[in-house]
Structures are given as C-alpha cells and as structure tokens.
C-alpha cells in the first residue's frame, strides 16, 4: 500500500477521476468509466473453454463477452488442467485491452485474494506474509503471533497493519472471512459463467475500494459531487472512520487542488523538467519504454557549476518512479542515467530507485545496470496506460 494523504474526486457524466496525492504530489490517477468499469480483483465462476498445450495456458469463459487468459503458473490448487467445460473459480488480475472482439481478454488467476483494510486473505495459500514496508523482525513476529490461526489459508499483512492491535486484526479478519463465505455461497448456487463480485454489496464501488486499499494513509477525501460526498460521509460515520470528507463547491475546479490538472498534463508530455533543470524524457513503445536522463539542459544554469552525475541521478530516480506509476507504464523499462563509473554510486542510485518504487502497488522487478550502463526493470501490467485511458474517455464523449 502506498503512502497517500488525499483523494480528490472529479465527477463527470460518463466517468469520474480519482487522484491520489501525497504531500501535494500526484501519485496515481484512476479513471473509472461508468460504461466500462474496471473488473480487476473481481471474482468469477468461470467455465474452462480450451487448453493450449503449447504454451501451457487456457481460455476461460467468465461471461463478459471476451474469454479470460489463465496461465499454468496462476492455476493455484490444480496440478493439471481439468477437462473443457469444468467450472473454475478465478479472479481478474488485469483488465483486457482494446474494444474489438480481437482485443486481449483479461488475465486471470486462481490464487484468489480477498482484501481487507489490514490483511489480504488467500484461501488457497498458506503461511503469513508481510508488506515490504513492515520492517523489523520484532514487529513481524508480533503480527505473526496475532494472525496465525485466524484464517485457514494464507495471510498477507498490509502496511496499515503495522502497529495494529490484536482486536483490530481480528475484526478485519472476520470481515474478510464474511466476504469469502459470501463468495463461496454464491459460487455453490451459481451456474458458470457468473460474476460473483457483482452480487456482493460494495465490491464495485471504486471509492470504497480506494478507501480499503489506502484508507490507513488517507487524511481527506474531496469530491465535487454533493450527493456522493454526503453518502461517503454517512459511510464514514457508520464505520467510525476518521477520514475527513469535503464537498468541493468553490469557483475553481477540484483538480486545481494540489495542481492535479497541471501534474496530469506533465504526465501526458514526453518529458519532465526537474527543479534543477535536468530533463527526463519518456519514449514508450509497444513492449519497451526508454527513459533518458538529460543533464545538458541544466548545465551552467544561472551560473551554477556542473553537477556531479550521482547528484543528477539521485534527483531523477524518485521522479522516474513517480512517473512510471502515474503513467501506468508496463513491461520492460530501460533507463539511461547520466554515466557513472563508480560501482558505489550506481548502488546508491539503484537503492534510491528501489525505495521510490516501494510505494508502487504494482509489482516491479529491478535488474540493475547493464554492461552499457543502462538500468533495466520491469513493471507488471495493470490495465491501459494513463494516456490511453484518457484518450478513450475523450473519444467516448464524441
């Protein structure tokens, strides 16, 4: 779970935009289409359509008009593929892409995850895991002692669980188990394909999902829709939540707060300019995004002496991490930092990049510097890029 302190919601006729900010910096923008909502994390009772032995994967009909894709690695609880027509309980890990019948379907997993505020329950998992931000063996041992035996399966403690009492964790575990039992009952009564999450209250409320995922780090929610703000405040009061809810009805747009609109414009541009004048260029492609750190633009700025490569790169690393998340760039990323000959300096830059990427809820894998001095990493795919989402929203208004 990332560190955020404010959620700003701009409501449009066909969609609403949710901006997560921390310290005034835009961390993430979620585009929620009313006509095409995201189904990520939704649980379905699907029906196996066909198996593709060459790639050890299968297509599963989940009833949304486009078959989901299930890899053998995500076939939790099964050693082999069942026969075509068999029911499978699956969860969407990433939405499909494209509007046509030839577009990609959603990626599925049978390693189901039922999320609470403090923990994530994996019914077919085992053991206790921890968020990367829960540090210290003593705290991990304390939490492990609280949750071991609470649920039959696997448990992952979220960042919000740090410092939580036994009573708080037990209450969250009870809520999660209630949701899971509800899903199991629905699956028992349903005929595949069936959308089980759609039958459970609150599962498709995007603001509720953000509060569930980030509530422990949120201080304020701002909405420019009075009815939605009032309903959310009522929900906060019922649950004794301490998050402030504010209806924005001022003369300026809601996205002028924290300069969200300006930061969105920056995220749609090909380059960003850092405080020192250093420019970072983003060149996304189909399978690879190239990032170039260009210090030439800052050279001699206002009579300053040229900066050391390590200083330039340490400034660029957190900005790159922010933009990868905000732009929702996925796949392979190659960063051309300013050349550093010292292994010590390279390690410092890699550590700074890793620390900044730790806030990203989407998994990333850092591979380090190549022989040519480029830094390589991969970021998992979670839906379309920010630019593609906003362009699709604009086309829907035509």
Q: What is the pLDDT of residue 302?
A: 54
Query: Can you give the CATH number for the domain in which 235 is found?
Result: 3.30.420
Looking at the domain assignment, is residue 54 inside a domain?
yes
How many domains does the chain divide into? 4
Residue ending a domain, choose from 92, 109, 126: 109
Q: What is the pLDDT of residue 305?
A: 59
Q: What is the pLDDT of residue 398?
A: 59
Residue ending a domain, choose from 160, 183, 199: 199
Q: What is the pLDDT of residue 200?
A: 57
Query: Can you give the CATH number for the domain in which 78 is found?
Result: 2.40.50.140
Q: Are 140 and 78 members of one domain?
A: no
Q: Are 90 and 32 members of one domain?
A: no
What is the SS3 assignment for the chain?
Answer: CCCCCEEEEEECCCEEEEEEEECCEEEEEEEEECCCCCCCCCEEEEEEEEEECCCCEEEEECCCCCCEEEEHHHCCCCCCCCCCCCEEEEEEEECCECCCCCCECCEEECCCCEECCCEEEECCCCEEEECCCCCCHHHHHHHHHHHCCCCCCEEEECHHHCCCCHHHHHHHHHHHHHHHHHHHHHHHHCCCCEECHHHCCCCCCHHHHHHHHHHHHCCEEEECCHHHHHHHHHHHHHCCCCCEEEECCCCCCHHHHHHHHHHHHHHHCCEEECCCCCEEEEEECCCEEEEEEECHHHCCHHHCCCCCHHHHHHHHHHHHHHHHHHHCCCEEEEEECCCCCCHHHHHHHHHHHHHHHCCCCCCEEEEEECCCCCEEEEECCCCCCHHHHHHHHHHHCC
Q: Are 304 and 369 members of one domain?
A: yes
Looking at the domain assignment, is residue 52 inside a domain?
yes
Q: Are 276 and 341 members of one domain?
A: yes
Q: What is the pLDDT of residue 359?
A: 83
Which range of residues forms the domain containing residue 355?
Answer: 269-386
Closest Cα partner for 317 from 357, 288, 345? 357
Query: Which residue ranges of the chain lie beneath pLDDT 50?
Result: 1-2, 100, 201
Looking at the domain assignment, is residue 394 inside a domain?
no
Residue ending a domain, choose from 62, 88, 109: 109
Q: Are 380 and 286 members of one domain?
A: yes
Q: Are 274 and 376 members of one domain?
A: yes
Q: What is the pLDDT of residue 103?
A: 63
Looking at the domain assignment, is residue 393 inside a domain?
no
Q: What is the pLDDT of residue 340?
A: 94
Q: Are 119 and 211 members of one domain?
A: no
Looking at the domain assignment, is residue 341 inside a domain?
yes
Looking at the domain assignment, is residue 1 inside a domain?
no
Query: Can you give the CATH number for the domain in which 154 is found?
Result: 3.30.230
Looking at the domain assignment, is residue 140 inside a domain?
yes
Q: Are 289 and 240 members of one domain?
A: no
Instruction: Specify whether the CB–CB gap between 257 and 12 falls below 8 A.
Output: no
Q: Are 329 and 375 members of one domain?
A: yes
Q: Are 284 and 355 members of one domain?
A: yes
Q: Are 214 and 227 members of one domain?
A: yes
Looking at the domain assignment, is residue 398 inside a domain?
no
Q: Are 15 and 104 members of one domain?
A: no
């Amino acid at each position: 779970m990332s560190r955020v302190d404010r959620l700003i919601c701009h409501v449009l006729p066909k969609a609403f935009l949710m901006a997560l900010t921390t310290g005034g910096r835009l961390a993430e923008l979620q585009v929620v289409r009313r006509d095409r909502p995201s189904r990520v994390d939704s649980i379905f009772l699907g029906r196996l359509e066909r198996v593709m032995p060459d790639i050890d994967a299968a297509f599963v009909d989940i009833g949304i008009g486009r078959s989901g894709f299930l890899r053998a690695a995500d076939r939790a609880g099964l050693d082999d593929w069942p026969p075509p027509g068999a029911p499978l309980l699956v969860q969407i890990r990433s939405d499909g892409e494209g509007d046509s019948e030839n577009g990609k379907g959603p990626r599925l997993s049978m390693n189901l995850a039922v999320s609470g505020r403090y923990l994530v329950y994996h019914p077919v998992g085992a053991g206790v895991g921890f968020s990367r931000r829960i540090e210290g063996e003593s705290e991990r041992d304390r939490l492990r002692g609280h949750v071991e035996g609470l649920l039959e399966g696997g448990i992952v403690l979220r960042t919000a669980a740090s410092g939580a009492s036994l009573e708080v964790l037990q209450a969250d575990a009870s809520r999660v188990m209630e949701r899971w039992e509800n899903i199991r009952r629905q699956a028992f009564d349903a005929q595949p394909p069936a959308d089980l999450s759609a039958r459970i209250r609150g599962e498709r409320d995007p603001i509720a999902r953000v509060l569930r995922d980030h509530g422990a780090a949120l201080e304020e929610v701002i909405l420019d829709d009075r009815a939605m703000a009032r309903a959310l405040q009522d929900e906060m009061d019922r649950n004794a939540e301490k998050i402030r809810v504010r209806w924005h009805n001022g003369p300026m747009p809601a996205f002028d707060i924290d300069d969200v609109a300006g930061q969105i414009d920056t995220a749609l541009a090909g380059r960003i300019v850092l405080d020192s004048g250093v420019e970072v260029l983003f060149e996304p492609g189909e399978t690879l995004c190239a990032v170039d750190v260009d210090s030439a633009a800052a050279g001699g700025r206002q009579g300053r002496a040229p900066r050391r490569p390590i200083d330039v790169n340490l400034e660029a690393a957190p900005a790159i991490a922010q933009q990868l998340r905000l732009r929702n760039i996925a796949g392979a990323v190659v960063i051309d930092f300013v050349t550093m000959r010292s292994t010590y300096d390279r390690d410092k830059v890699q550590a700074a990049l890793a620390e900044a990427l730790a806030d990203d809820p989407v998994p990333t894998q850092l591979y380090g510097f190549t022989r040519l001095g480029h830094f390589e990493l991969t970021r998992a795919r979670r839906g379309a890029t920010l630019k593609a989402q906003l362009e699709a929203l604009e086309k829907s208004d035509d």
